Structure formats: structure tokens, C-alpha cells
């Protein structure tokens, strides 16, 4: 999925989830880096969304537009920020503390990754409540 918008039809509504069948090909959804947001696995075309993510009433058979907002910010937070802390940990250990052993450098780089993932986890819980939601609107 190269764009940040997808269309589909409401297939099922139950007490906890709304199931939406995507109109795009399943292969496109499988290739999408953001597929973890809608819970789609390989070969699936049906995504489940909790009622809390949908602010408008929907009915079975209704066409909807699913919009992923802030993709660049989310991608930076998930991919680039940990890479920066990994490389930063290596550089600080090598040039500030004079560590020459490659195994020790690698361990410090992995520690930087761990710190990055903890920060990403804390930020994602805080930001996802208002900024990083999937917007679902009827067409």
C-alpha cells in the first residue's frame, strides 16, 4: 500500500470489534509496513478494529475509508530512532570512552537499541491515544 488511504466494506459488527474487508488485493496489504496497525496477516483481506477507534456509527455492508495518518512520524519513531541510538552508542563508546573491543562495542550498541525500544514503547503508548490512530470514515 503506497498511499495512506484504503477502502473497504463493513463485514461484521460485534460487541468488541468491527470487521472490514479491504477492497485492495491481499498481496498489497501483506507488503504494507503498516499492516500491524490493522491486524492483517499474510493473505488476509479482513481487518479487525476495536469500537474505540471508530467515532462514527457504521452498519454492515457500508463502504468505508481507512486513513493512516502520520506515517512518516511513525516510521521515524519505529525505524530511524533505534538506528540512531545504536550508532550513537557505538560512537560514544569508541570515541568518548576509548573502548576498542568489538564485542564490547556491539554490546553497548545493543544496549542503545534496548533504550531506544523502551523510549519508543513509552512514547507510542502516550502518543497513540490521540495522534497515531487509524481514522475510519463512511464513504
Q: What pLDDT, in 10s, does the model give residues 37-64?
A: 555 555 567 878 787 777 788 889 999 9
Q: Is the pLDDT of residue 1 over 50?
A: no
Q: Are 102 and 90 in contact (CB under 8 A)?
A: no
How far apart (Å, rounded) are the C-alpha atoms in residues 82 and 2?
24
Amino acid at each position: 500500500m503506497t498511499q495512506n488511504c484504503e477502502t473497504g466494506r463493513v463485514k461484521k459488527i460485534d460487541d468488541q470489534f468491527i470487521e472490514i474487508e479491504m477492497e485492495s488485493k491481499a498481496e498489497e496489504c501483506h507488503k504494507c509496513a503498516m499492516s500491524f496497525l490493522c491486524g492483517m496477516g499474510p493473505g488476509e483481506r479482513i481487518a479487525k478494529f476495536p469500537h474505540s477507534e471508530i467515532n462514527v456509527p457504521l452498519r454492515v455492508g457500508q463502504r468505508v475509508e481507512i486513513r493512516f495518518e502520520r506515517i512518516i512520524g511513525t516510521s521515524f519513531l519505529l525505524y530511524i530512532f533505534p538506528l540512531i541510538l545504536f550508532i550513537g552508542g557505538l560512537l560514544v563508546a569508541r570515541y568518548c570512552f576509548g573502548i576498542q573491543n568489538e564485542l564490547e562495542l556491539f554490546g553497548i550498541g545493543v544496549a542503545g537499541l534496548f533504550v531506544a525500544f523502551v523510549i519508543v514503547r513509552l512514547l507510542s503508548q502516550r502518543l497513540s491515544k490521540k495522534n497515531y490512530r487509524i481514522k475510519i470514515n463512511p464513504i
